[in-house]
Amino acid sequence: MNTILIIVNIAVLLLLMFGLFQMQKKHISFSKRVFTALGLGIIFGIILHAIYGTTSEVLARSIEWFNIAGNGYVKLLQMVVMPLIFVSIVGAFTKLKLSKNIGKISVLVIGILLGTTAIAAAIGIGSALGFNLDGAQLTQGDAEKARIAQLEERVPTVENMTLPQQIVDFIPSNPFQDLTGARATSTIAVVIFAAFIGIAYLGVKRKEPDHAEFFSKIIDTIYSVVMRVVTLVLRLTPYGILAIITRVAATSDYDAIMKLGTFVVASYVALIIMFIVHLLLLMAAKLSPYNYVKKALPTLTFAFTSRTSAGTLPMTIKTQSKDLGVSEGIANFAGSFGLTIGQNGCAGIYPAMLAVMVAPAAGVDPTSLSFILTLILVVAISSFGVAGVGGGATFAALIVLSVMNLPIAIVGLLISVEPLIDMGRTALNVSGAMTAGVLTSRATGEFDNDTYKQPDIVEA
């Protein structure tokens, strides 16, 4: 009987995918197909949740099959991340798009990411205080206790990771290993390695122009092939989103979400306010926030559903370069650095909110100006290389709480709503990276205003 039910569930998912395929054949726009997939996935997931509940073996087995489409799509995106970064940045040098401004570009991208993270921390503090969040009101179940025990084992590793160590960890000692994504900082290491190759190319071009021209043709050829692979993968986006959001809606613990509803609401209020800050920064640069939202929304939707900034990177780069008028080199720099430095949601808002919630338990007044300013500074500095210790928002929170001498147990107490909040955090991280790319491109004069203004999204 269970096998029949599993087959029925799989058949329904395949039928929904067939509907998306028919929309593609009718040339319905990419963004409409993405949002249709999102809506269908939510409805289908809620229905599965209502029929089976989260503990059902039928649902668990069905989700395993759904993950072929969902997790498989994410893995395909991750597959093209390193080749895309490497060949795009080297190609930017061979096309002379980064030769003069590489230092300025790096400083601007990193500065904007860290600056917006400091703003995000201030917004997180304000939201926690405004909603009067109190960590003492959270309760511990078996899952929370187990999670807290795991976190306590990792605290020494986090505490011993200094900022200079994190910076050194960015430098590639074995670029071929980093091209496999073996380390948490592999993405930044590949960026640095590609930049060195590009600078070396410029030297060769001055002394041996024939060799340089041959190398440039090789890079152009590889770039064309890699971008074709990226295009093929991005065409699968609606199907991947359908499978992923179905899993999320079907397996979420709605009772736990209701119990921690105030924290969830406060978190999303802070995330939305910070997203508005991104739009205000674009307005300050005399760019239309409406165009940004319209073109960035499919990418942000995938980041929201998949909860992976790394998996979203090909879409992040494509949206910047093809839809928002950012040069390819800057789009790669901003997208890649945004995976590790200054994540507005994971490293900004989240740890700041947790610090405010547990401060009273440690005898600290969370409303004092000295505490708030110190917390913002610690969050901004700690966000420089969160991926150096692995674990995203959880480890960002552990670093901040440890530095501020605050109890870390609260990180484990929120495990039940972590996936729901992480969806919004990941989307904000990606938006922060794209905003940094647009603003940097605008400031360096490598911005295509006509591309930004064009009304339609470039199809994959």
Bridge partners of 447, per DSSP, are: 326
Q: 391 pLDDT exceeds 70?
A: no
Query: Quick one: pLDDT at residue 388?
Result: 38
Q: 392 pLDDT exceeds 90?
A: no
How far from each other are the two terminal CA atoms of the chain, in whole angstroms? 42
Residues 333, 106: contact at Cβ < 8 Å? yes
Query: Quick one: pLDDT at residue 389?
Result: 43
Give the pLDDT band (50/70/90) at residue 410.
confident
User: Average pLDDT over the chain, rounded to whole?
Assistant: 85
pLDDT in tens, 437-446: 999 999 998 8
Q: 108 pLDDT exceeds 90?
A: yes
Query: Quick one: pLDDT at residue 320?
Result: 93
pLDDT in tens, 359-373: 888 888 999 999 999
Query: Quick one: pLDDT at residue 255?
Result: 74
Q: How far apart are CA 113 and CA 434, in angstroms?
A: 10
pLDDT in tens, 52-85: 987 889 999 999 999 999 999 888 988 888 888 8
Query: Quick one: pLDDT at residue 323?
Result: 92
**CB-based burial label for 224 (10 Å; 0-12, 13-18, 19+):** exposed
**What one-letter code names the amino acid at 380?**
A
Percent of the chain with pLDDT over 90: 38
pLDDT in tens, 425-435: 999 999 999 99
Give the pLDDT band (50/70/90) at residue 156.
low
pLDDT in tens, 272-287: 999 999 999 999 999 9
Q: 162 pLDDT exceeds 80?
A: no
pLDDT in tens, 309-356: 877 888 898 899 999 999 888 888 888 888 878 889 888 999 999 999
Query: Quick one: pLDDT at residue 147?
Result: 54
Q: 248 pLDDT exceeds 60?
A: yes
pTM passes above 0.85: no
Query: Quick one: pLDDT at residue 74?
Result: 86
Mean pLDDT of 192-207: 88
pLDDT in tens, 45-54: 999 999 998 7
Bridge partners of 384, per DSSP, are: 341
Q: How far apart are CA 41 and CA 215, in angstroms?
A: 46
Residue 316: CA count within 13 A, CB half-sphere: 38
Q: How far apart are CA 161 and CA 180, in angstroms?
A: 24
Place of tokens 């794209």: 434
Mean pLDDT of 186-205: 86
Q: Domains of the chain by range and CATH?
A: 2-453 (1.10.3860.10)
Residues 345, 426: contact at Cβ < 8 Å? yes
